[in-house]
Amino acid sequence: MSEELRIAVAGCAGRMGRCLISAIADDPGCVLGAASECRGSSLVGTDAGEMAGTGRNGVIITDDLAACADDYDLIIDFTRPEASLEHLQIASANGKLVVLGTTGFTQEQLKQIDVFASSVPMVFASNYSVGVNLVFNLLAQATRVMGSYADIEILEAHHRHKVDAPSGTALSMGRAIAEVLGKDLDEIAVRGRDGITGERKPGTIGFASIRAGDIVGEHTALFAALGERVEITHKASSRMTFASGAVRAALWLARHPEKRIHSMKEVLGL
């Protein structure tokens, strides 16, 4: 591995991809080694830095990360589940590291990721914001104090283009709470309500999703008891917070390349 960590950005022309290229350019510990877009994209063959607005850098956008595997050490992937699995296959075949931020995987796809973890060192997280990962710790504390008697609801809001709901971060918040309660989230989650639903069932965790405009990401966990409620909220105003966290995770993984799935808690020492 070179002195600077060479990073490939998958889905480089997307909202996160452009932010990742910018975050890599701002960090002296790494350099953009490759950038990819989907097959048939009009951006294939163009300069990645020029596309992202960071200035021409000589990295030409490709539609095949396998063909340029010698140019990078690690892949950062915030794309779609099917594409991410393809990139994990490339990483496994070529001895690369992976920072995975894609959400919306099915249970079967998550099992495939577990298989890849035996050959690919990876950080896999639903959210790379430092603040969100701090929130996970706060949720555990709040659950220990109020979880036995409070009604718990998780509300999240994202931009109109997000394709999965509830968000990966909302589900991770639910899992953090359920773990403290000693419950399986799938058994106690209530996803959306409509019509005559009856009274709220004690011990459940409700989820509500908003998709509108250009909301970057907002998440609130509500602990409501009789006479009071506690709200733990995180609001992201820029995708750069996720991009910077992903680059931080990439640099950490290069120093801890154990072949398994690492968490952002490990990266941050929480």
Residue 158 designated active-site: yes
**Which residue carries 């069932």 as its tokens?**
201
Residue 87 designated active-site: no
Judge whether 48 and 35 are in contact, CB under 8 Å: yes
Q: Has this prediction a pTM greater than 0.85?
A: no
Q: Give the pLDDT confidence score for residue 211 in this predicted structure.
A: 97
- Residue 1: pLDDT above 80? no
Architecture of domain 130-236: 2-Layer Sandwich (3.30)
Contacts of 30 (CB under 8 A, 6+ apart): 4, 5, 6, 7, 24, 247, 250, 251
Can you give the residue ranges of every domain in the chain? Answer: 5-124+239-268, 130-236
Tens digits of per-residue pLDDT, 125-160? 988 999 999 999 999 999 999 999 999 999 999 999
| Pairing relationship of beta strands 228-236 and 217-225 according to DSSP bridges | antiparallel
Q: Give the pLDDT confidence score for residue 3 in this predicted structure.
A: 82
Q: Take residue 84 and report the two structure tokens written for it.
A: 């991410």
**Which residue carries 């009274």 as its tokens?**
199
Tens digits of per-residue pLDDT, 64-109? 999 999 999 999 999 999 999 999 999 999 999 999 999 889 999 9
Q: Give the pLDDT confidence score for residue 247 in this predicted structure.
A: 98
- Residue 192: pLDDT above 90? no
Q: Give the pLDDT confidence score for residue 116 in this predicted structure.
A: 97
Percent of the chain with pLDDT over 90: 94
CA 42, chain centre distance (Å): 26
Confidence bin at 2 (pLDDT 50/70/90)? low
Q: How far apart are CA 208 and CA 266, in angstroms?
A: 29
Q: Give the pLDDT confidence score for residue 14 in this predicted structure.
A: 93
Q: Do domains 5-124+239-268 and 130-236 have the same CATH topology?
A: no
- Please give the CATH number for the structural domain made up of 5-124+239-268: 3.40.50.720
Taking alpha carbons only, the member of 270, 246, 267 closest to residue 258 is: 267
Question: What CA–CA distances, in Å, run from 45 to 18, 21, 31?
Answer: 16, 16, 19
Q: How far apart are CA 190 and CA 66, in angstroms?
A: 41
Q: Which of 87, 96, 111, 158 is catalytic?
A: 158
2 phi-psi bin (left φ>0, alpha ψ -120 to 50, beta other) = beta
Question: What CA–CA distances, in Å, run from 228 to 135, 150, 153, 171, 223?
Answer: 20, 9, 14, 24, 9
- Give mean pLDDT, residues 14-26: 96
Q: Give the pLDDT confidence score for residue 178 in this predicted structure.
A: 98
Tens digits of per-residue pLDDT, 220-266? 999 999 999 999 999 999 999 999 999 999 999 999 999 999 999 99
Tens digits of per-residue pLDDT, 180-190? 999 999 999 99
Contacts of 66 (CB under 8 A, 6+ apart): 90, 93, 94
- Residue 124: pLDDT above 70? yes
